Structure 1
Amino acid sequence: MKARYTLLGGVMLSAFAVSAHAQDADQPASTETEPPAANENVIVVTGVARGTNALEASVSISSLDAQTIVDTAPRSSAELIKQIPGIRSESSGGDGNANIAVRGLPVAAGGAKFLQLQEDGLPILEFGDITFGNADIFLRADYNIARVEAIRGGSASTFASNSPGGIINFISKTGEEEGGSFGLTAGLDYREYRADFDYGGSIGPDTSFHVGGFAHVGDGPREVGYDGSRGGQIKANITQRFDGGYVRLYGKYLDDHSVGYLPNPVIVTGTGSDPEYTSVANFDINRDSLHSRFFTPIRSLDGANQPASFDIDEGMHPVVIAGGLEAQFELGGFTITERFRYADISGGFVSPFPGSVGGAQAAADAIGGPGSSLFFASGPNAGTRVADPASLGGNGLVANIVLFNTRLNSLNNLTNDIRATNEFDFGGGSAALTAGFYYSRQDIDTDWLWTSHLFSVEGEGNAVLLDVRNAAGQPITQNGTVGFAATFFGNCCRRSYDLRYETKAPFAALSLEFGGLTLDGSLRYDFGDASGSVAGADLGGGRVGITTFDFDGNGVIDPAEAQTATLPLGSPSTVDYDYDYLSYSIGANYLLTDDLSVFGRYSRGGRANADRLFFNGDTIDPVTGAPVDDAVAVDFVDQAEVGVKYRAGGLALYATGFYAKTEEQNFEVTSQRQFDREYEAYGVELEGSYRTGPFSLSGGVTYTDAEIVRDTRQPVFEGNTPRRQADFIYQATAAYDSELFGLGVNAIGTTDSFAGDNNDLILPGYTTVNAFVNVRPSPGITVSLNANNVFDVNGFTEAEEGSIPANGIVRARSINGRTVSASVRFDF
């Protein structure tokens, strides 16, 4: 198989060409540049063989500069990504755990499956949708960022592994510009305080450095009653330049806590096609969350089946210690570019998920039988009986919580990308040949230690745990714990993963330029292997998942302790299989004039499936740990695009028509659903910007028509629109910036989409307006006021229910309400 693909690759390479040919010399992946609107010749380095001018590339590329990041003051990296045309970023998870997709590609089970998030040209994680380890959890945008580049479709299939949908690259400052900044930011209507700094410059005629970071503390954008946001990051690099190249060393340390927002209850009335969403009494869907200062430490068995305590305030807790090298030099007429990074990644993910939400008395009776009573298990009234369950928490509701407590023991990641490029004359024109090799090693070592609890539904971080006693007065729960397992999920999902994925990929690209015509193409052959083991009762084969354990040490096993989940560590499933696939991309770009070009491209790329393949019934053989069908190991994306680009003076306009056909094997944790599907999508993407003097205007809109064309597990959904796929997504920014002050307004929006694949309940479209004002009272000092979601609109990115349930309570994840911050920044 591998030999046949290698031979095919050689034949195809000789027949056609690469990704974007560069008019200028190779550029380092980390460099400061002028904003694209101000510098028409900005060189883009992401997802192409060599740095290229956007007008001359046969791919769709966008860039956000450092000033845009500061002005829009995104509350998370996912909010920043929403500014990029064609990118659907569901930024409702907090500082991470966002769902991100490109141009109609699906988000069936969370994360960024077909998209790669990079820092300085290398992936943060090899797979963007590791369960409870989405790549954006380990990414923070701060003063270190010089710009963000994004490529949609196109050569992303061949210049990065596992990213056929696109690449978003966060590029760091490198000290090429002398100076630095220090800034302080405080939330005015929410509690969070943050300090940022960065400084860079020369320490010799050919040596530069840059260092920067941030620290923050507070609730975050929603009131949770404790310091849900706390920690920070520091990054540094040093660059030595020499004739024909440079060498750069860099490092990063991130240790941060942030609240992971999961679905919250909201009341939905009306019909599925015309719903009305309103907040539950005493619980604001825009500002509250099912987190609380009274969610006391939780006991459970750990990954070694030993008793341990865990705190809900750990939240999303990324710990990253990373170091790397980037170098470029000339050798035998070739330009060699080498990038290497090793990242030690660990931490945790702890957040409450509502298995269901309903009336307090009904929930008590369901747990303890008719006539059961409720008692406060935490908070100021702990130990006392709930006198009137109908008025509990101001709404009479309780949430059956499954606490997603996942230990990220190791997501360690090693990556290396080396490539060589040579330019030469060819047939009266010019040619550029690039060849390279990519290697990565990705660990996925996690333990799922879920427990179940009864929780009141109250805002402002005041919700409390509840105990149930049956009609005879006997305790059924223990300190708010219904079971030391995922009781409300049928006791599933006590799991342990200890996996390692190795990915190897030779790639090659050729570009031919004849006057205004550029023909290009590229190939990538990925081959990899998965090894390790998984353990869990879900594997079947007589593996036991429930035991008893005396957590309170009183010598008696109570009903909650009788539901204790355990890992069958003595009977794991071995994982040992390999896979391979070929990706290719061919394109053409023609300069009609110096200001106008047209392009077309066809690409086919693959995405190797990782941890989500396991525990999925008939997808993986529980004895061998290998796929029962080799086809499920890799999903393919076929894409075609054609577009026109115009740029003159301060005006830039881009229009691209696209088509995508996507395969998907996946598994959704919250619904315990498996997916085996094929999607098709087509649409149009428009992007533009205009700058004259201090005024600037930019924006983009993407129209997508998507359909589920095949569903082997649930064929009833064939012909439907994929859930959460809107017809239109859009963003626009207008700004004025002078020496004394700057101001701007930014709008981001989406039209209606369906909550479920059954195409019943609608998630209403919405537009959020953000605004900023900057005042510079003296040189080097900037005072800013920034408001996100100025008009405090409701916006829902996902819902667990595809139709309105009988009690009218839907579990939905919403965007944050209005947040206003003030900051002062000192530049020196």
Structure 2
Amino acid sequence: MKATHFLLATTILAAPVPAMAQSTTATPAAQATDPAAQQDANPGEEIVVTAVAQGTNRLDSSVTVSSISADSLVQLSPRTSGELLRNLPGIRVEASGGDGNANISVRGLPVASGGSKFLQLQEDGLPVLEFGDITFGNADIFLRADFNVRTVESVRGGSASTFASNSPGGVINFISKTGEKAGGAFQVTSGIDYRDFRTDFDYGGRLSNSVTYHIGGFSRIGDGQRDVGYDAVRGGQIKANITKTFASGGYVRLYGKYLNDRAIGYLPNPVLVTGSNADPDYRNLTNFSINNDTLHSRYIQTALTLDGANRPVRRSIGDGQHPVVAAIGLETQIPVAEGWNIVERFRYADISGGFTSPFPAGADSAQNVANALGGTGAQLFYASGPNGGQRITTPSTLGGNGLLANVVLFDVDLKSLNNITNDIRLNGSVPVGSGTMSITGGLYASRQDIQTDWLWTSFVQTVEGGGRSALVDVRTAAGVPVTQNGVPGYSASFFGNCCRRSYDLDYTTLAPFAQVGLEIGRVNLDGSLRYDMGKARGSVAGSDLGSAFGSGITALDINGDGTISSPERQVAVIPSRRSPVNYDYNYLSYSAGVNFKLSDASALFARYSRGGRANADRLTFGPSINPTTGALTDASAAVDFVRQLEGGFKFRQNGLSFYATGFWARTEEQNFEATTQRFFDRNYEAKGVELEGRIARGAFSLSAGGTYTDAKITRDVLNPAVVGNRPRRQAEFIYQVTPQVDLDTVTFGANLIGTTASYAQDNNQLKMPAYNQVNAFVSFRPFDDITVTVNGNNLFNAKGITEVEEGAIPTNGIVRARSITGRTISAALRVGF
């Protein structure tokens, strides 16, 4: 509560700006200008409002920025936010997890575990979560792109290190419409070859000459992108804002958001691999497609387990990724003197929900799985579905492929990921000789809660697609039950009974920052500093801390039938003794850049930056924190640093634009991965080139981008054998190309997303093949305000393997992998007004 009171007091005392990178241009701040209005007032220019103090022309900035417009959001029709972000140059997105849980990185920075560790996702200039890789609480789970979005802007590298905490790799900002352009739209979308129904709406305009407003949202229901036989996606979002502008040039905006959405989360699934590690062929198993199916099933809807207080509870698997967000915010800009203004941004977000999805610990022939659990000659019986209770007499044909999966259900109760953020900034400019000097100083403060309970359990199920997978019981050859309703133990049985955990943590951040920029003729110089001071407080509980903190397994009549079955002798509990977390950290970030305009249409730029990322919940349960005192055993473990050097060329004129950036980055990484139960402590180095361009001639336009990255592991404390190898899942080249033709009544185009091959794991043995995903759309406008659109996503049904759990092909040839989703075609009717 003290931290919350402090942040509220900061809001009253001053006026913050977003946790974003700062302008590298000494733009005069004669008036406080609403960035949204500034964008609308300059539709023909590339005005950057993310990572700058004032809206600035892209050619005047020494940071690398790209954007996706609202029109592109409609035409590309991405199925998830992750699929949308793949269209940003330099952004590597493993968009195979559904509406959230995507692994996102930038320019060769690693994804050692999951989420977006070095990259911050923002809404209207403030972070969705302070840390983008909270275990089972990745930031993109709590973010939805709908008609409320005006623009998605990305800043890669550069001064994101000094104008955002915990985001040295960059910032991606979802910027909302605010009603400067009157009107709105209503759209109904339906899947043609998949069951998904969605409605979107938005409307905005003026209440008076000085007051604008906007409101919008969506609602949906259906299976999602893959057939699971039940409503795996259901819910929606509503957002609204109102803005009052003042004659003095300032403005104040109030906004709110409510998101309550259930979205299926796709985790790795079994797939057959033939060939060699160096030249593998990933093939669908009989009756199970890696890019169209999932282990989710209409016959496996709930799981019996214990809650965080060790009380029996039945959890719904159908809730999937379930974000519940209620947020309110304030944004204001106030002129305080000639050429000076204060900018304030504040938001409080009440965030909770859950994450539930099956993860296969392994897959093998049905009889092998049965024998491993029940001994030689073990018997199999259906435990759910239409054949429940019947004996399986021919295990070799079970499910059409004779396979069973040992599943650990990742079931996490996200009790509170609440955050409160406040960012205050004073900026202005003064004349210096023949030039202008811009000055900015500010203070950022935040508190991030992490209160979660891990309630994992296990079961055995068939490997079938179409939502038809069933639970299977195992009995010994003598008929003695080994499982109960498919459950071998009410714990993470196939992970050594690990991971029954409770987290009750909060992280506070206080970060003053400052920037000075100088514009003299065609030259812009700037430098900025940020000093982050953080506190980690709270406690964790779980037997993974060691035997001194209690046993994690007990015998319990969990189903209340009066007897203790074999699985009920293996019930996971959260021990009562908690381990404290109590340490402070601080670190300095800095950035400096220069931009030289060769002409009104071209410029050269260069920048060097160092930024830090504080390690949050993933540092607990590991060797870096003393479990008795909560103090750090190694002070350097609290923060990982990223050092980056970049420079390049920019050109824009007469419908043609081209941007080329060379980059080098050195990254420290300490992390924990839940799926493998491994800790990481290593360094990386990456260098490469990022290209982006667009040409528009009459009705035709073409946008394209590509990033070449040469990355390697340069140090590994825990596994020195991987030093010199390429980091897992890091392709040498990723690219996107979007051609489009816009005629009077018809618009059509395509969107190509591609990647070269990469390695599944850091041992650099098993490869994940290159792939191309082709999306296409056609829109027909029979009347001015009516549009009919047909969109095809992954038209050629490509398998795009984004991650593999195994580092080499196992004896049975079955690995666990995630693929992009196969072909889905949708149709939409949009009415504008």
TM-score in same-fold range (> 0.5): yes
Query: Residues 24, 219 of structure 1: CA spacing in aligned structure 2 closer, same or farther, 3 A cutoff?
Result: farther
| TM-score between both structures, scaled by the size of structure 1 | 0.96
Which residue in the other structure is 1:375 paired with? 381
Which residue in the other structure is 2:447 paired with? 441
The answer to whether the 8 A contact 1:193-1:217 is kept is yes
Which residue in the other structure is 2:575 paired with? 568
Can you list the C-alpha shifts for 1:461-487, whole angstroms capped at 9, x where unaligned?
A: 000001111112111111111110000
- How many Å separate the matches in 1 of 2:474 and 2:612? 51
User: Is 1:713 aligned to residue 691 of structure 2?
Assistant: no
For residue 483 of structure 1, give the secondary structure of its aligned residue in structure 2.
Answer: coil
Q: 2:780 aligns with which of 754, 770, 775?
A: 775
User: Is 1:552 aligned to residue 559 of structure 2?
Assistant: yes
Q: 2:498 aligns with which of 473, 484, 492?
A: 492
Further displaced range: 532-541 or 546-555 = 546-555
For residue 237 of structure 1, give the secondary structure of its aligned residue in structure 2.
Answer: strand
- Give the Å deviation of 1:738: 2.8
Which residue in the other structure is 1:793 paired with? 798
CA RMSD of aligned residues (A): 1.3
1:337-376 alignment, distance < 5 Å = 337-376=343-382
Further displaced range: 290-299 or 65-74 = 290-299
- Give the Å deviation of 1:562: 0.6
1:527-546 alignment, distance < 5 Å = 527-542=533-548, 543-546=550-553
The answer to whether the 8 A contact 2:727-2:762 is kept is yes
Q: Which amino acid aligns with 1:45?
A: V
Which residue in the other structure is 2:53 paired with? 49
User: Is 1:81 aligned to residue 88 of structure 2?
Assistant: no
Which residue in the other structure is 2:131 paired with? 127
Q: Size of the alignment, in residue pairs?
A: 808
The answer to whether the 8 A contact 1:32-1:177 is kept is no
The answer to whether the 8 A contact 2:351-2:417 is kept is yes
- How many Å separate the matches in 2 of 1:297 and 1:802? 32
User: Is 1:626 aligned to residue 626 of structure 2?
Assistant: no
- Give the Å deviation of 1:27: 4.5
Q: 1:215 aligns with which of 194, 216, 219?
A: 219
Q: 2:76 aligns with which of 72, 75, 81?
A: 72
- How many Å separate the matches in 2 of 1:753 and 1:694? 38
- How many Å separate the matches in 2 of 1:235 and 1:296? 31
- Give the Å deviation of 1:622: 1.0
Q: Which amino acid aligns with 2:387?
A: N
- How many Å separate the matches in 2 of 1:24 and 1:53? 13
1:92-491 alignment, distance < 5 Å = 92-242=96-246, 243-333=248-338, 334-491=340-497
- How many Å separate the matches in 2 of 1:287 and 1:707? 33
Further displaced range: 426-435 or 636-645 = 426-435
Can you list the C-alpha shifts for 1:352-397, whole angstroms capped at 9, x where unaligned?
A: 0000011111111111111110110000000111111110000000
- How many Å separate the matches in 2 of 1:690 and 1:449? 52
The answer to whether the 8 A contact 2:22-2:162 is kept is no
- Give the Å deviation of 1:296: 3.6
Unaligned 5+ segments in structure 2 are 1-20
User: Is 1:823 aligned to residue 832 of structure 2?
Assistant: no
Can you list the C-alpha shifts for 1:756-814, whole angstroms capped at 9, x where unaligned?
A: 10000000011111100000001100000000111111100000001001100010000
Q: Which amino acid aligns with 2:142?
A: F
Q: Which amino acid aligns with 1:212?
A: G
User: Is 1:697 aligned to residue 717 of structure 2?
Assistant: no
Unaligned 5+ segments in structure 1 are 1-16
Q: Which amino acid aligns with 1:350?
A: T
Can you list the C-alpha shifts for 1:286-345, whole angstroms capped at 9, x where unaligned?
A: 110010000042111100011100011010000000000000010134211100000000
Q: 1:732 aligns with which of 730, 737, 745?
A: 737
Which residue in the other structure is 2:4 paired with? none
Which residue in the other structure is 1:10 paired with? none
Q: Which amino acid aligns with 1:147?
A: T
Which residue in the other structure is 2:813 paired with? 808
Sequence identity percentage: 61
Query: Residues 30, 358 of structure 1: CA spacing in aligned structure 2 closer, same or farther, 3 A cutoff?
Result: farther
- Give the Å deviation of 1:553: 2.1
Q: Which amino acid aligns with 1:554?
A: D
For residue 186 of structure 2, give the secondary structure of its aligned residue in structure 1.
Answer: strand
Which residue in the other structure is 1:4 paired with? none
The answer to whether the 8 A contact 1:46-1:149 is kept is yes
Which residue in the other structure is 2:16 paired with? none
Q: 2:513 aligns with which of 507, 514, 534?
A: 507
Q: Which amino acid aligns with 1:735?
A: Q
Q: Which amino acid aligns with 2:478?
A: A
- How many Å separate the matches in 1 of 2:28 and 2:748? 35
The answer to whether the 8 A contact 2:38-2:55 is kept is no
For residue 174 of structure 1, give the secondary structure of its aligned residue in structure 2.
Answer: coil
Query: Residues 163, 441 of structure 1: CA spacing in aligned structure 2 closer, same or farther, 3 A cutoff?
Result: same
The answer to whether the 8 A contact 2:652-2:658 is kept is yes
User: Is 1:686 aligned to residue 691 of structure 2?
Assistant: yes
- How many Å separate the matches in 1 of 2:481 and 2:795? 48
- Give the Å deviation of 1:625: 1.9
The answer to whether the 8 A contact 2:536-2:584 is kept is yes
- How many Å separate the matches in 2 of 1:381 and 1:818? 31
For residue 688 of structure 1, give the secondary structure of its aligned residue in structure 2.
Answer: strand
The answer to whether the 8 A contact 1:32-1:147 is kept is no
The answer to whether the 8 A contact 2:26-2:517 is kept is no
- Give the Å deviation of 1:148: 0.4
| TM-score between both structures, scaled by the size of structure 2 | 0.96
Query: Residues 476, 183 of structure 1: CA spacing in aligned structure 2 closer, same or farther, 3 A cutoff?
Result: same
1:580-591 alignment, distance < 5 Å = 580-591=586-597
- How many Å separate the matches in 2 of 1:142 and 1:554? 48
For residue 141 of structure 2, give the secondary structure of its aligned residue in structure 1.
Answer: helix
- How many Å separate the matches in 2 of 1:35 and 1:426? 29
- Give the Å deviation of 1:428: 1.9
Can you list the C-alpha shifts for 1:233-280, whole angstroms capped at 9, x where unaligned?
A: 000000001022100000000000010000011100000110001000
Query: Residues 173, 22 of structure 1: CA spacing in aligned structure 2 closer, same or farther, 3 A cutoff?
Result: farther
The answer to whether the 8 A contact 1:194-1:216 is kept is yes
Q: Which amino acid aligns with 1:44?
A: V
Q: Which amino acid aligns with 2:618?
A: R
Query: Residues 817, 31 of structure 1: CA spacing in aligned structure 2 closer, same or farther, 3 A cutoff?
Result: farther
- Give the Å deviation of 1:157: 0.4
- Give the Å deviation of 1:626: 2.2
For residue 599 of structure 2, give the secondary structure of its aligned residue in structure 1.
Answer: coil
Further displaced range: 806-815 or 473-482 = 473-482
Can you list the C-alpha shifts for 1:596-639, whole angstroms capped at 9, x where unaligned?
A: 100000000000000000112x2221111222101000000000
- How many Å separate the matches in 2 of 1:519 and 1:552? 68
- How many Å separate the matches in 1 of 2:673 and 2:36? 36
- How many Å separate the matches in 1 of 2:301 and 2:388? 11
Which residue in the other structure is 1:662 paired with? 667
User: Is 1:635 aligned to residue 640 of structure 2?
Assistant: yes
Which residue in the other structure is 1:651 paired with? 656
Can you list the C-alpha shifts for 1:384-420, whole angstroms capped at 9, x where unaligned?
A: 1111111000000011000000000000010011101
Q: Which amino acid aligns with 1:187?
A: G
Further displaced range: 120-129 or 468-477 = 468-477
